[in-house]
């Protein structure tokens, strides 16, 4: 039996006046690699922070039986001018080694080096294993790509001996090759790990899943494919229960009304007969009591059934609620015949080995822009959108374009969702904007919270509403990794929605599963 690396008892996190995110959770994580999944807002990051010891729960205790190392989902986004060597804590030792080899060593250099005469060679070996440039030890971290910074963080965590890792969305900045590397590394490294992820490709490599949903946790021990099958069966049962409850409630209310009307007719006849005063008072009182008792029994009989079916309906809808998170109507673009976009011998700036791009994209086509980290995918989207000029060549575009990048830079974090929507899509009444935001699960006061206070998934949903649901629609939608922060249900629903979009799509994604769901049938490789 695998030993417990982390034990948690009675964990609770709440933010007044809201209900607890989770309450009285008991969890024991073994010496193996498991995935933590669940819908956006379920508290996965909060749970990971509590288990890692970087956040104190409002109640409960966490015990570490081995060293625990934590990687935040935003770690790769924090830029610093520190060198790679300084980040790994070896800058002083490398400098000491260099002085000793040059014959200029100081008194304390031997203690700094601590007999690690092959330190540089060992570090280069580690860099290569983590698919980082062998000569990057003295370069600033800010010069690395997002995927390289992620692998560097993982390299630093791997240097902690016997550590249990808690990784929050580690694949967000990794390209397809990086994600394959991550999957292989997790499966071969010693020590356990808890990986918080929505990456469907990465999830297929896990044998055990831990799901956090509606404040409770549940283990799934047969892998991701079996989880999806079980989840679909649960949703199918919920759909059946919801339909059955609705029909039963309707029938019960109709039957209750019919019996009530019949009873009222009998009462009316009894009153008419009593008005003739041809019956003793004692019999009239007895009839009245029986009538009142009958009316009470009718109400009680139906009330118990109605309460039971209302509970069944509420339970089913709590399961099905996530299915409609992104089920919103799209604003269709004005069609344009012929070619919408022509890349005429375009060479992008800043790339070390740029290619000349000569591509024609027709109206209504769906393109997957694919390539490794640093190949220029985001740069190309910026050039197509007019945010920067190509190094050479011409970009000819007809119609309007709208770009949603992976940093959601079209949003103003100081504004709320309603203000962002109105600013980016003028022309509607406040009620129309609110109706659309309610369809992406931002109703009422939630639409008035500053965007900076929303979760990553909620911020993305605001951005998608601003991109796809305004008074007018662009003929070309440029999407840069739109699936990065979406939970599994929302990824599926987003793909279903975008499949209905009649304009042209140019999408950057590292997920083969998501690209297939979107129906991206044309590929541009960089």
Q: Helix, strand or coil for residue 40?
A: coil
Please state at what angle helix 417-424 crosses helix 430-439, rounded to 10 degrees: 120
What confidence score (pLDDT) does residue 499 get? 85
pLDDT in tens, 193-245: 999 999 988 999 999 999 998 899 999 988 888 988 888 787 788 888 888 88
Cβ atoms of 252 and 312 closer than 8 Å: no
For the ranges 82-96, 238-252, 265-279, the lowest mean pLDDT is seen at 265-279
Weakest mean pLDDT among 303-317, 342-356, 378-392:
303-317
Look up residue 14 and give its two tokens.
């709440």
C-beta separation of 385 from 156 below 8 A: no
Sheet holding 209-213, edge to edge: 68-71, 164-168, 193-196, 33-37, 209-213, 216-220
Contact 197, 37 (CB under 8 A): yes
DSSP H helices in 363-416: 377-385
- pTM summary value: 0.77
Report yes or no: 26 and 8 within 8 Å, Cβ to Cβ: yes
Tokens describing residue 280: 């003793």
Q: Name the phi and psi angles at 308, rounded to 5.
A: -65, -45
H/E stretch holding 64 reads strand 59-64
How does pLDDT run across 50-69, given as a tens digit for each residue? 999 999 999 999 999 999 99
Q: Write out pLDDT tens, residues 147-178.
A: 889 999 999 999 999 999 999 999 988 888 89
Crossing angle of helices 146-158 and 119-129, rounded to 10°: 120
Q: Element (H or E) spanning 194, and its range?
A: strand 193-196
Distance between CA atoms of residues 422 and 432, nearest Å: 10
Phi (first) and psi of residue 481, to 5 degrees = 50, 60
> What radius of gyration, in Å, describes the C-alpha atoms of the chain?
31
Look-up of token digits 């009307």:
261
**Which of 219-223, 300-304, 432-436 has the weakest average pLDDT?**
300-304
Mean pLDDT, all residues of the chain:
86
88 or 378, which is more confident: 88
Q: What is the distance between the alpha carbons of residues 159 and 165, in angstroms, rounded to a whole number?
A: 11
CA distances from 297 to 23, 257, 293 (A): 40, 14, 6
């Amino acid at each position: 039996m695998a030993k417990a690396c982390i034990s948690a008892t009675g964990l609770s996190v709440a933010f007044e006046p809201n209900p607890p995110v989770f309450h009285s959770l008991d969890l024991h994580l073994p010496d193996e690699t498991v995935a933590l999944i669940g819908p956006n807002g379920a508290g996965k990051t909060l749970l990971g922070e509590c288990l890692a010891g970087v956040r104190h729960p409002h109640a409960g205790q966490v015990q570490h039986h081995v060293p625990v190392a934590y990687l935040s989902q935003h770690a790769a986004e924090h830029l610093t001018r520190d060198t790679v060597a300084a980040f790994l804590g070896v800058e002083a030792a490398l400098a000491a080694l260099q002085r000793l080899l040059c014959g200029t060593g100081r008194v304390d250099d031997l203690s700094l080096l601590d007999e690690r005469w092959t330190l540089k060679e060992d570090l280069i070996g580690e860099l290569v294993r983590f698919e980082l440039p062998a000569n990057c030890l003295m370069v600033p971290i800010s010069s690395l790509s997002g995927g390289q910074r992620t692998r560097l963080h993982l390299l630093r965590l791997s240097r902690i001996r016997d550590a249990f890792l808690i990784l929050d969305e580690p694949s967000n900045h990794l390209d397809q090759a990086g994600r394959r590397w991550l999957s292989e590394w997790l499966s071969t490294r010693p020590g356990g790990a808890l990986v918080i992820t929505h990456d469907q490709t990465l999830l297929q490599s896990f044998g055990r899943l831990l799901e956090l949903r509606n404040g409770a946790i549940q283990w799934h021990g047969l892998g991701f494919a079996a989880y999806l099958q079980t989840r679909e069966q649960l949703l199918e049962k919920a759909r059946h229960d919801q339909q059955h409850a609705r029909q039963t409630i309707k029938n019960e209310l109709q039957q209750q009304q019919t019996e009530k009307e019949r009873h009222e007719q009998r009462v009316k006849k009894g009153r008419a007969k009593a008005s003739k005063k041809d019956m003793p008072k004692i019999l009239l009182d007895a009839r009245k009591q029986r009538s009142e008792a009958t009316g009470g029994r009718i109400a009680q009989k139906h009330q118990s059934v109605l309460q039971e079916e209302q509970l069944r309906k509420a339970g089913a809808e709590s399961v099905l609620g996530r299915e409609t998170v992104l089920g919103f109507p799209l604003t269709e673009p004005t069609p344009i015949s012929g070619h919408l976009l022509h890349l005429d011998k375009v060479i992008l700036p800043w790339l070390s080995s740029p290619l000349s791009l000569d591509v024609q994209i027709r109206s209504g086509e769906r393109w997957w822009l694919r390539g490794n980290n640093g190949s220029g995918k985001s740069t190309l989207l910026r050039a197509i959108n007019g945010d920067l000029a190509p190094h050479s060549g011409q970009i000819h575009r007809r119609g309007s374009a709208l770009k949603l990048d992976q940093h959601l830079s079209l949003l103003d974090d100081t504004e709320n969702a309603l203000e962002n929507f109105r600013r980016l899509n003028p022309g509607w009444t406040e009620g129309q904007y609110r109706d659309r935001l309610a369809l992406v699960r931002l109703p009422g006061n939630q639409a008035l919270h500053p965007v900076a206070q929303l979760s990553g998934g909620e911020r993305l949903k605001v951005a998608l509403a601003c991109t796809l649901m305004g008074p007018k629609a662009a003929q070309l939608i440029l999407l840069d990794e739109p699936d990065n922060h979406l939970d599994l249900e929302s990824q599926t629903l987003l793909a279903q929605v975008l499949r209905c979009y009649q304009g042209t799509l140019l999408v950057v994604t590292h997920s083969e599963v998501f690209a297939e769901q979107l129906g991206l049938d044309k590929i541009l490789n960089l």
